[in-house]
Chain A
Amino acid sequence: MIHPVLPYVIAALLFGLGVYGVLVRRNAVLVLMAVELMLNAVNIVLVTADATVRAAVPQTGAVFALFVIVLAAAEVGVGLAIVLQLYRLRQSVQVDEVSLADDAVVSADAGSRGADEVEGQLVR
């Protein structure tokens, strides 16, 4: 016998922390970590609902939680590929330094030349 309000409130607090992290952090990897916190909060809600509600289709919450975990794994894989590419082009992963203007093509060109030099050093 449990009080369902306890895990729900825990999930809400974790979600708030994730929102704070996504809005405040400048490092793209830290932003991804905060996103993981938010996804976990959602999973807690799903599992709690599964454990406390007698549903017509049983285990639905657990199945959805598993689906969310798989989606999170895919999201982190693609997200980290983008972050590493950004680091290769700009030598920086600060999300508020990413230029959205048209000159991005020129600086990306310059950045990829820099990336080639870095790669050359790594090979050596």
Chain B
Amino acid sequence: MTTADVLIVALGAVAVAAGAAVVTTRHVVRAGLWLVVSLGAVAGLYLTLAAELVAWVQVLIYVGAVVVLLLFAVMLTRAPIGASEDLDRVRWPGAVIGAGAGLGLAALLAYAYGWSTVELTEQSGAEAVGSAIFTAWVLPFEVLSVLLLAALVGAIVVSRPDIGRRP
């Protein structure tokens, strides 16, 4: 176990524990706050894995924007502040499928990789990732900008107040 391994295990434990709190807590607002912890730990994981730019984009967009948007939605839908008992439906089918998917994938990956070690590749900082985006992946990048525009227009159209009325 090297230092990077210890960091990965610690951050991964935080991420998984906070993720478990997100899907099991009885407070809607606390689920959003646990999501911040989980996503922050994942950002630390990216830093450990030498993906610097992805880590900071994760902090900016996920922790900064997506979670704030989710908390906005929690408050705009008048979610109860205290604990509510009716957040979950019957748990065991979801638990069986979720545990099957998670543990099955974990077992498959553990079998595939064993206890092998690799050297980390060089840091993928902003310069390397930027040149990769604007050389090999420039067309998907442009398509993504069109998709963002479509999502923006779609979100505005869907949230029009006169929707649902008959003409």
Q: Is B164 an interface residue (CB 8 A)?
A: yes
Contact of B89 with A26 in the complex, beta carbons under 8 Å: yes
- In the assembled complex, the Cα of A34 lies from the Cα of B44 at a distance in Å of 20
Q: Is B9 an interface residue (CB 8 A)?
A: yes
Q: Is B61 an interface residue (CB 8 A)?
A: yes
Determine the chain A residues whose CB is within 8 A of the CB of B151 once the complex forms: 74-75, 77-78
- In the assembled complex, the Cα of A81 lies from the Cα of B93 at a distance in Å of 29
- In the assembled complex, the Cα of A12 lies from the Cα of B113 at a distance in Å of 13
Contact of B121 with A26 in the complex, beta carbons under 8 Å: no
Contact of A63 with B45 in the complex, beta carbons under 8 Å: no
Contact of B57 with A7 in the complex, beta carbons under 8 Å: no
- In the assembled complex, the Cα of A5 lies from the Cα of B17 at a distance in Å of 19
Contact with B along A1-38 (1 / 0, CB 8 A): 11111111110111111111111111101101110110
Contact of B69 with A77 in the complex, beta carbons under 8 Å: yes
B-contacting residues, A75-89, CB 8 Å: 75-78, 80-85, 87-89
- Interface of B (DSSP majority class): helix
With A27-B79, A77-B151, A80-B70: A15-B101 Cβ-Cβ less than 8 Å? yes
Contact of B23 with A8 in the complex, beta carbons under 8 Å: no
Contact of A40 with B38 in the complex, beta carbons under 8 Å: yes
- In the assembled complex, the Cα of A50 lies from the Cα of B89 at a distance in Å of 38
- In the assembled complex, the Cα of A53 lies from the Cα of B112 at a distance in Å of 14
| Residue in A6, A61, A78 whose Cβ sees the most chain B Cβ within 10 Å | A6
The residue of chain A having its C-beta at the shortest distance from the C-beta of B1 within the complex is A3
For chain B, the bracket of interface size reads 35 or more
- In the assembled complex, the Cα of A66 lies from the Cα of B140 at a distance in Å of 12
Q: Kindly identify which residue among A52, A65, A67, A84 contacts B144, using a CB–CB cutoff of 8 Å.
A: A67
A-contacting residues, B36-57, CB 8 Å: 38-39, 42, 45-46, 49-51, 53-54, 57
A-contacting residues, B20-39, CB 8 Å: 20, 22-23, 28, 31-32, 35, 38-39
Q: Is B81 an interface residue (CB 8 A)?
A: no
Contact of B16 with A51 in the complex, beta carbons under 8 Å: no
CB distance from A23 to the nearest CB of B (A): 3
- In the assembled complex, the Cα of A25 lies from the Cα of B78 at a distance in Å of 17
Q: Kindly identify which residue among A23, A48, A50, A78 contacts B97, using a CB–CB cutoff of 8 Å.
A: A23
CB distance from B67 to the nearest CB of A (A): 8
With A13-B16, A51-B49, A76-B69: A24-B89 Cβ-Cβ less than 8 Å? yes
Q: List 16 A-B contacts (CB under 8 A).
A: A1-B2, A2-B117, A14-B19, A29-B74, A36-B35, A37-B38, A50-B49, A51-B120, A58-B128, A60-B132, A62-B132, A71-B144, A80-B73, A84-B76, A85-B163, A115-B161
Nearest 9 CB-CB pairings of A with B: A16-B102, A20-B98, A23-B94, A21-B23, A10-B12, A12-B105, A74-B151, A24-B94, A59-B132
